Amino acid sequence: MTETKKDVLLTMKGLRIEGRADEEWLEIVKGVDVTLHKGEVLGLIGESGAGKSTIGLAAMGFARDGCRISGGEIMFDGIDLRTASEATKRDLRGKRIAYVAQSAAASFNPAHKLIEQYSEAPVQHHVMGRSEAEKDAVDLYRRMQLPNPEEIGFRYPHQVSGGQLQRAMTAMAMACRPDLIIFDEPTTALDVTTQIEVLAAIRDIVEQFDTAAIYITHDLAVVAQMADKIKVLLKGEEVEEADTRTMLDHPTQDYTKSLWAVRSYARAEQPPVEASATPVVSVRNVTAAYGTLDVLKDISFDIHARRTVAVVGESGSGKSTTARVITGLLPPRRGEVLFNGEVLPPDYRNRTRDQLRQAQMIYQMADTALNPKLRLRDLIGRPAQMYLGLQGKQLDDRIRDLLSLIELEPDDYIDRLPSELSGGQKQRIGIARALAAEPQFIICDEVTSALDQLVAEGILKLLDKIQGEFDLAYMFITHDLATVKAIADEVVVMKEGVVVEKGPKSEMFQPPHDPYTELLLSSVPEMDPDWLTELLQSRGALPAA
Amino acid sequence: MGFLTGLFWFVVVIIASMAAGWMFRAAAVGISPRGVAKELKTAPLTASFGMLMILIYIVVAVFAPLIAPFSETAIVGREYQPWDSVHLLGTDNLGRDMLSRLIYAARNTVGIAFVTTALAFGVGSILGLLAATVGGWLDQILSRTVDVLMAIPALIFALLLLTIFGTSVINMILVIALIDSTRVFRLARAVAMNIVVMDYVEAAKLRGEGLWRLITREILPNAMAPLVAEFGLRFCFVFLTISALSFLGLGMQPPTADWGSMVKDNATLISFGDITPLLPAGAIALLTVSVNFVVDWQLQRASGLKE
């Protein structure tokens, strides 16, 4: 698996790619070298903006709209992709080089059945006829361990789950048995439990057909399972490249070490809550429904001051719905929400201004949570003005204090628009807006899941710091167990609208577990390259390859 | 050869317009304060030409009595006099000076079209945003009412209402504004529907913001780009509707000058190969094109679209 003496398939030397922004060309990839041998898997890793996807696309001789390949050479199996005609490149793409995108749901044409889309490339490239291709599809679906391989191809994309769709897409990329597949974050949008299936299937099929692959991701633990060697990128430049094991055990560069270290962050253990203390928020026997469908069934848990309760579960488990019940957006069908021992009106419209002030929310997507037309001054200042009646100088001082608190220089930032901020900075503004109301309780809905690891760590540390300063209670909704380990005091595990298990963090990460918690915990990828193999063996799901 | 001459003049006109636009932009950048000047520099030539034309129309409309050589309604010569040094564009079917009437009509037609469009927008967009934000029964009532109004062909509906309520300038403004506001309502509601589901609107609701603030601060600024674009188009439609109504005799009443009725009054001249009756039509066309040039530029800026 780690042989390197095989023939060279792809070389990129001194690759430079420029993107056009504000009337000028900016270099986004600054001289990167890539050498890939037949049957080898290269992991490209880095934060957003590192140029991972751009390099991946360049391996097909393609640059996105508004980008151009400005320097270096790209040789694929003796063909110079920089000078090759469009017709030559078109003939290569899909046939000898294939691409698997991050969002399978967005990449499939919703109007055609899976198998029709599967046969498209082989028929187009005259590799096989339609009926032959359809037979082949069933075979590949079976190898990808899709349920009902005979039948699944005749479904439309919306009729299969996200993980299945991602596998169907990988099968589709395999249709012409390409020499090289580019995987662009294929599992990023999936739950951990689904991710495992997809990872296993991808790894398997790449090995079976001895296909070379470029695997692009920001998740180190994932790439550790998939790649023979790893290349770390930062702002369009290579930081270092090495064998997977060498890279994991002995990173040489500081940046790589910092990436590795992110996962080790954990906050100090908090003393247990006194039994007599009134919880800040108490969810009691809540059952809630959209229409006639119950999405929450008899949920109860407490959140105490200065404590963080992490609510964990896969998508569709009812985590965000719980938040909507607490904030009053979705009045529960039965049960109640208590705030400092008092029952809150179920509908937010009936709550007093002070009740609204006490519970604030930070959203997953900072992009849609901040009004793009308001300046930071108004975004942060509005809650302070509205709830605390601050005006003029006082208000201005308060906004500046809050900006300093979230580690943004007030003079630089106070009059900016959200579009002039980075993703992490936007999320910080979301935090400042919540703090401006001086609440006792903040709901954090997947606040770090759209951020890079280093940035996410910064946000978690900030949240931790202000919790201590303002005695806040947090409800932390997440599907990422690494985040739970980092920040939670107590954990509530949810599945299909039911609380499966709850308790202090220390207990949660120690056996014995509820079977579902066990599944969740064991599905979190670890930095050990053998982790996936061992896990699959222990689950007895390893196919006879 | 006729075709080549036509082509030649066409090119000349285009180049002259672009040159005028370029000079206007240079001059405007020179005299405006720095912030505005920076914005103006980004204007494409089409937009600066459009702004120049709109400015000229406004100046003409405001200073009509000073510019026009004769009065709006006075009969100053024989009917259908050709162009000469006294009556630069000749006289109309009653012997009134064509140029003077053209100038006065700018005031009437443009002014009324602007008021009507503004009214249609005020009513249509506020109701549309309200329907999208509040939802429920209010949305149902407003939307179904609008559906009913829209089911009747616009021009026929306008004719019907004007016949019922009588033809006066006020009635015409109200009737056209009512009909056009239904179109604005549909657009504003559709745009706002996509905005009310955003997290920042939810955050504002949870903050306890009132309806008015929710609409004006959170929703309207984000719905501005498509609404501005619609304003430009709608202005042109209103303009044409007024002219159409005047042409049919139900719009502006004589002796008030109006480009639509001027076309109608002098239409006979076309059969003699005289282009005079087409001048008011040209004035309408030029203004509508100019407005759309400016609106396109603004839309591109507001939506951040790149070419």
Q: Report DSSP letters for B79-146, one per residue.
A: TT----SSSTT-B-TTSBBHHHHHHHHIIIIIHHHHHHHHHHHHHHHHHHHHHHHH-HHHHHHHHHHH
pLDDT of A268 reads 67
- pLDDT tens, position by position, A350-382: 888 888 998 899 988 888 889 988 889 899 999
Beta bridge partners of A217: A45
Check whether A259 has a pLDDT greater than 70: yes
CB atoms within 10 A of CB B51: 21
Is residue A131 domain-shared with residue A196, that is, in the same domain?
yes
> Does residue B207 sit at the A interface (CB-CB below 8 Å)?
yes
Counting beta carbons within 10 angstroms of the beta carbon of residue B163, is it exposed (0 to 12), middle (13 to 18) or buried (19 or more)?
exposed
Q: In this structure, is residue B26 part of a structural domain?
A: no
Domain that holds residue B198: 106-303
CATH number of B119's domain: 1.10.3720.10
The answer on pLDDT for A262 being more than 70 is no
Q: Is A301 helix (H, G, I), strand (E, B) or coil?
A: strand
Strand A473-478, strand A441-445: pairing: parallel
Q: Which 3 state secondary structure label does DSSP give A337? A: strand
| Residue A138 within a domain | yes
Burial class (CB in 10 A: 0-12, 13-18, 19+), B157: middle
Give the Cα separation of B281 and B267 in Å (integer).
11
Nearest to A467 by CA among A358, A325, A306, A320: A306
How close B6 comes to chain A (CA, Å)?
A: 38
Interface membership of B200 toward A (CB under 8 Å): yes
Mean pLDDT of chain B: 86
DSSP state letter for B215: I
Query: According to the model, what pLDDT value does residue B175 have?
Result: 93
**Lowest mean pLDDT across A312-321, B111-120, B139-148:** A312-321
Contact A371 B200 (CB under 8 A): yes
Q: Is residue A537 part of a domain?
A: no
Judged by a CB distance cut-off of 8 A, whether residue A361 touches chain B is yes
DSSP letter assigned to residue B216 = I
Residue B268 inside a domain? The answer is yes
Confidence band (pLDDT; 50, 70, 90) for A5? very low
Q: Does the pLDDT of residue A543 top 60, yes or no?
A: no
Give phi and psi for A18, each to the nearest 5. -115, 145
A297 and A170 share a domain?
no
Distance separating alpha carbons of residues A51 and B274, to the nearest angstrom = 66
Side by side, which strands form the sheet with A308-312?
A: A359-362, A441-445, A473-478, A308-312, A490-495, A498-504
Alpha helices in chain B (DSSP H): 2-31, 34-41, 45-62, 64-67, 98-105, 111-134, 136-151, 154-165, 169-196, 199-207, 211-213, 220-247, 259-265, 278-303
The residue type of A531 is W
Domain count, chain B: 1
Chain B partners within 8 Å of A22 (Cβ): none
Residue A525 lies in a domain: no
Give a yes or no: residue A543 inside a domain: no
B208 contacts in A (CB within 8 Å)?
348, 351, 353, 356, 386
Beta bridge partners of A316: none
Is residue A174 located within the same domain as residue A223? yes
Alpha carbon of A281: minimum distance to chain B alpha carbons (Å): 17
Q: For residue A472, what is the domain's CATH number? A: 3.40.50.300
d(CA A348, nearest CA chain B) in Å: 7
Range B89-108 average pLDDT: 85
The answer to the question of residue B141 being in a domain is: yes
Closest chain A residue to B200 measured between Cα atoms? A369
Cβ distance A372 to B222 less than 8 Å, yes or no, reads: yes
* A301 and A250 fall within a common domain: no
State whether A257 and A286 are in the same domain: no
The rounded distance, in Å, linking the Cα atoms of B89 and B92 is 9
B207 interaction partners in chain A (CB closer than 8 Å):
356, 382-383, 386, 437
For position A125, what pLDDT does the model report? 84
Q: Does B209 touch chain A (CB under 8 A)?
A: yes
Overall number of domains in chain A: 2
**Residue B151, pLDDT above cutoff 70:** yes
Considering the domain architecture, whether residues A211 and A243 belong to the same structural domain is answered as: yes
For residue A439, give the chain B residue with the closest CA: B207
On whether residue B75 sits in a domain, the answer given is no
Q: Which residue segment(s) compose the domain that A442 sits in?
A: 281-510
Q: Band of the pLDDT at A408, cuts 50, 70, 90?
A: confident
Residue B36: pLDDT band with limits 50, 70, 90:
confident
Q: Do A361 and B209 touch (CB under 8 A)?
A: no
Q: Could you tell me if A339 and A246 lie in one domain?
A: no
Query: Are B209 and A368 in contact (CB < 8 Å)?
Result: no
Binding-face residues of A in 300-329 toward B, CB within 8 A: 327-329
In a domain, A314, yes or no: yes
**Is residue A524 assigned to a domain?**
no
**Residue in chain A lying closest to B222 (CA):** A373
Q: CB distance B209–A363 less than 8 Å?
A: no
A23 plus A146 within the same structural domain = yes
Segment B202-207 shows an average pLDDT of: 90
Please indicate, yes or no, whether residues A394 and A432 belong to a single structural domain of this protein: yes
Nearest to A94 by CA among A9, A193, A176, A191: A176
Does the beta-carbon distance from A328 to B218 stay under 8 Å? no
Q: Is residue B143 part of a domain?
A: yes
Is there a contact between B207 and A383 if contact means CB atoms under 8 Å apart?
yes
Range B126-155 average pLDDT: 92
pLDDT of residue A3: 44
Q: Residue A534 domain-assigned?
A: no
Residues A374, B217: C-beta atoms closer than 8 Å? yes
| CA A367 to chain centroid | 15
**pLDDT tens digits for range A129-150:** 888 888 888 888 888 878 888 8
Query: What whole-number distance in Å separates Cα of residue A323 and Cα of residue A311?
Result: 10
What local confidence, expressed as pLDDT, does residue B124 receive?
94
Instruction: Kindly identify which residue of chain A lies nearest to residue B197, measuring between CA atoms.
Output: A368
B207/A348 touch (CB, cutoff 8 Å), yes or no: no
Q: Burial letters for B264-285: b for 16+ Cβ neighbours within 10 Å, e otherwise?
A: bbbeebeeeeeebbebbeebbe
Name the one residue in this structure whose structure tokens are 């179904």: B144
Measured between CA atoms, how close is A368 to chain B, in angstroms? 5
- Identify whether B6 is part of a domain: no
- The minimal CB distance from A386 to the residues B207, B218, B224 is found for B207
b (16+ CB within 10 A) / e for B96-126: bbbbbbbbbbbbbbbebbeebbebbbebbbb
Could you tell me if A304 and A260 lie in one domain? no
Same domain, A445 and A318: yes
Q: How near does any CA of chain A get to the CA of B207, in Å?
A: 6
- Do the interacting molecules here have an ipTM over 0.85? no
